[in-house]
């Protein structure tokens, strides 16, 4: 969902809920981003507002770049654990854990997920991670694959969210790898529908 204020969020969440009621099975979920002004307590509150309107459908994002910025490894993991607890208490069904656009040395989504295994997460809360299979450099492809394997091996991952991309062969290989590493179809794979916009068209001139 795209919003800046609480009234905007309530309005768009209500519209999604009404659409979902009219078209059963079409709306698979609702995303609450974690960037810009949607950080900290407002990110938790936004997830709760959306969850009250669209129960069982809300995925709140948690970004190391926004929530773990200027924090040590231990502090970032503690912040993620707190976010998960608060999000679950607010009715959020899923949390998508991402690093963000810039990877920090020593603290990223892989490390946070690996350390989170030692924590007691709320019952029923499901976690997801992101994966980009569309890199052009072989080194980047192998690095991203290794990172995904580490995330899956934490045993915390319920869903893998794929980046936008246009290389169908790389997409097929990515799905196959996820199924192999996850040991079957239990891990959900979430793709993205490309809706052309000026921003995305500019992005795809640089990345296939």
- Give pLDDT tens digits along the chain (208 positions): 889 999 999 999 999 999 999 998 888 889 999 999 999 999 999 999 999 999 999 999 999 999 988 899 999 999 999 999 999 999 999 999 999 877 767 799 999 999 999 998 999 999 999 999 999 999 999 999 999 999 999 999 999 999 988 899 999 999 999 999 887 778 999 987 767 777 767 766 665 5
d(CA 182, CA 20): 30
pLDDT attached to residue 130: 95
Residue appearing with tokens 């959306």: 50
Query: Do 59 and 96 contact (CB within 8 A), yes or no?
Result: yes
Radius of gyration of the chain (CA): 17
Q: Which of 89, 164, 149, 145 is nearest to 122 (CA)?
A: 89
Compute the Cα dihedral for 164, 162, 59, 37 and give only its sign. Answer: negative
pLDDT attached to residue 208: 52
What DSSP line would sit under 143-184, residue for residue? HHHHHHHHHHTTT-EEEEEEPP---HHHHHHHHHHHHHHHTS
């Amino acid at each position: 969902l795209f919003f800046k204020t609480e009234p905007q969020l309530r309005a768009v969440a209500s519209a999604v809920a009404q659409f979902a009621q009219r078209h059963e099975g079409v709306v698979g979920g609702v995303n609450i981003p974690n960037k810009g002004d949607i950080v900290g307590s407002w990110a938790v509150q936004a997830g709760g507002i959306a969850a009250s309107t669209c129960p069982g459908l809300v995925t709140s994002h948690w970004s190391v770049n926004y929530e773990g910025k200027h924090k040590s490894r231990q502090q970032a993991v503690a912040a993620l654990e707190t976010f998960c607890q608060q999000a679950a208490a607010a009715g959020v069904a899923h949390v998508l854990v991402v690093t963000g656009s810039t990877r920090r040395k020593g603290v990223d989504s892989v490390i946070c997920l690996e350390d989170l295994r030692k924590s007691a997460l709320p019952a029923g809360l499901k976690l997801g991670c992101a994966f980009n299979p569309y890199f052009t450099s072989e080194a980047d492809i192998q690095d991203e694959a290794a990172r995904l394997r580490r995330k899956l091996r934490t045993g915390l991952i319920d869903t893998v969210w794929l980046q936008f991309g246009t290389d169908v062969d790389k997409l097929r290989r990515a799905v196959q790898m996820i199924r192999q590493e996850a040991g079957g179809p239990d891990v959900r794979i979430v793709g993205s529908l490309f809706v052309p916009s000026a921003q995305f068209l500019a992005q795809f001139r640089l990345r296939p």
